[in-house]
Amino acid sequence: MFLWGTATAAYQIEGAADEDGRGPSVWDTFSHEPGRTREGHTGDVACDHYHRWPEDVALMAGLGVNAYRFSIAWPRVQPAGSGPVNARGLDFYDRLVDALLEAGITPVPTLFHWDLPQALEDGGGWLARDTAHRFAEYAALAAGRLADRVRMWITLNEPFVHMAYGYAMGIHAPGRALMTGALPAAHHQLLGHGLAVGALRAAGAEQVLITNNCTPVWSASDAAADLAAAEAYDVLHNRLFNDPVLIGKYPDLSAYGVANLDSVHDGDLDIIAAPLDGIGINYYNPTRIAAPSADAGLPFEDAGISGYPTTAFGWPVVPDGLRELLVHLKDRYGDALPPVYVTENGCSQEDVPGPDGVVDDRGRIAYLERHIQAVRRAQREGVDVRGYFVWSLLDNFEWAEGYHQRFGLVHVDFATQRRTPKASYAWLRDFLAAAED
């Protein structure tokens, strides 16, 4: 069965930051620091999904999706990132899973969508090797409670974005700007992934995936310097996270002045390359790369993409980039590429309800339709794609952008928490009703 789903993440929708024993995460700390997020927005309340989840499950049932990708908040399960389980935190996901199954919706939890318990960050966060071991312990606790009903699990969400935005550039929590000093955060996340695969399987998980953010990398020209820069960017964004997981080795990082990653110990790559049942791919747009200007500290420069429509975020809309990416993954990894699930794809728009209350987001309808067609083309070209999840079910807390980028199929009025399905919701419902897989 092809999985048609929606995707969300705990910190972006749940709210209830202090309830039922939840501990603080790096995103609570970061969003409460002045100047970190647009207008100082935080996820304290977000979509109040922690209380309104029955309504949200009903919205998904009405949409007709057969899968839901959500994330489990580690600080609800282990408020300090280690030690005993907080049963009340897991109770929430237990109820959610039961309600989803009752509605015929396959639950697909992600264990880490960037909300590291603050106590672990205080000990070095993902720069510390110990965090990988703590992650596996947490995975065992979550699966120990849920794996009797949850068959498919995702370990990490987008370790590239978490490393780059959180540890290299300081745009996301935990707000560190270490540039290449952030690389241990890549390795320790991947090690945590590998250790968690073992823990999940031991607890009875049947299918285990990782979700990587991937981008087709376009060189700004055929000049050798631009081609080399594009290759360096591909290494950082795509290969650093796909190669170790799929083929058990790191790509050549010499463009970054790194001969070997010091944080890698003997045996780590065997753990990281534990066989998977699928790979989650999040796709938003391609990236066009040029050689860096003389004073740049990195071996590439983002040259920007013009000639395409853009989302409210300013991201270029290139549906065929999804086909290109999927086919490229198949070409690069061959039989080492497990079945692919597009675990996020979607667009932000300035959605405002009209006087009749209708949100006529026809741009999103066109976006989704064309990206789904791109998935179909990739399938015809031989890529084993088994799922497609729209980001997102609800308008939500979009990290550093606060509540400014609306990605939902359902509009959320953040003052009243009123949910209003947009035109794209009705379109997807009709599309799914007619879909043959």
Q: CA dihedral in degrees (110, 113, 118, 121; nearest 10)?
A: 100
Q: Which is nearer to ligand FCB, 183 or 214 (CB)?
A: 214
Strand-pair category, 207-213 with 152-157: parallel
Contact pattern for ligand FCB over residues 82 through 101, marking x by CB under 6 A: --------------------
Q: Which is nearer to ligand FCB, 233 or 290 (CB)?
A: 233
Q: How far is CA 184 from the centre of its chain?
A: 20
- 14 counts as binding ligand FCB under rule CB under 6 A: no
Q: Which is nearer to ligand FCB, 281 or 365 (CB)?
A: 281
Q: Which is nearer to ligand FCB, 300 or 399 (CB)?
A: 399
Q: How far is the CB of 90 from ligand FCB (least distance, A)?
A: 22
- 409 counts as binding ligand FCB under rule CB under 6 A: no
CA distance 305 to 288: 6
- 213 counts as binding ligand FCB under rule CB under 6 A: yes
In the numeric block, the tokens 């409460």 are attached to 32
- 68 counts as binding ligand FCB under rule CB under 6 A: no
Q: How far is the CB of 136 from ligand FCB (least distance, A)?
A: 22
Strand-pair category, 385-391 with 3-7: parallel
How far apart, in Å, are the Cα atoms of 352 and each of 285, 404, 405?
Answer: 24, 12, 12
SS3 labels along 227-267? HHHHHHHHHHHHHHHHHHHHHCCCCCCHHHCCCCCCCCCCC
Size of the site for ligand FCB (CB under 6 A): 12
Q: How far is the CB of 399 from ligand FCB (least distance, A)?
A: 6
Q: Which is nearer to ligand FCB, 89 or 280 (CB)?
A: 280
Strand-pair category, 410-413 with 418-421: antiparallel
Q: How far is the CB of 12 from ligand FCB (least distance, A)?
A: 6
Q: Which is nearer to ligand FCB, 147 or 368 (CB)?
A: 368
Q: What's the one-letter identity of residue 202?
A: A
Residues numbered 285 to 324 that lie near ligand FCB (CB under 6 A) are: none
Q: Which residue blocks in 64-212 are alpha helix, DSSP H?
A: 74-77, 87-102, 118-122, 130-146, 159-161, 183-202
Choosing from 127, 398, 400, 411, the residue that interacts with ligand FCB (CB under 6 A) is 398
Residues numbered 148 to 207 that lie near ligand FCB (CB under 6 A) are: 157-158, 161
- 391 counts as binding ligand FCB under rule CB under 6 A: yes
Contact pattern for ligand FCB over residues 256 through 285, marking x by CB under 6 A: --------------------------x---
In the numeric block, the tokens 């500290």 are attached to 297
Q: How far is the CB of 217 from ligand FCB (least distance, A)?
A: 17
CA distance 272 to 268: 6
Q: Which residues pair with 337 in a beta bridge?
A: none
- 389 counts as binding ligand FCB under rule CB under 6 A: no
3-state helix, strand, coil in the chain (%, to 5): 45, 15, 40
CA distance 122 to 116: 10
Query: Both tokens of residue 313?
Result: 């975020």
Active-site residues, by number, are: 158, 344
Do 110 and 94 meet the contact criterion of CB atoms below 8 Å apart? no
Task: Kindly list the residues in this chain that would bind ligand FCB in the complex (CB under 6 A).
Answer: 9, 12, 157-158, 161, 213, 282, 344, 391, 398-399, 407
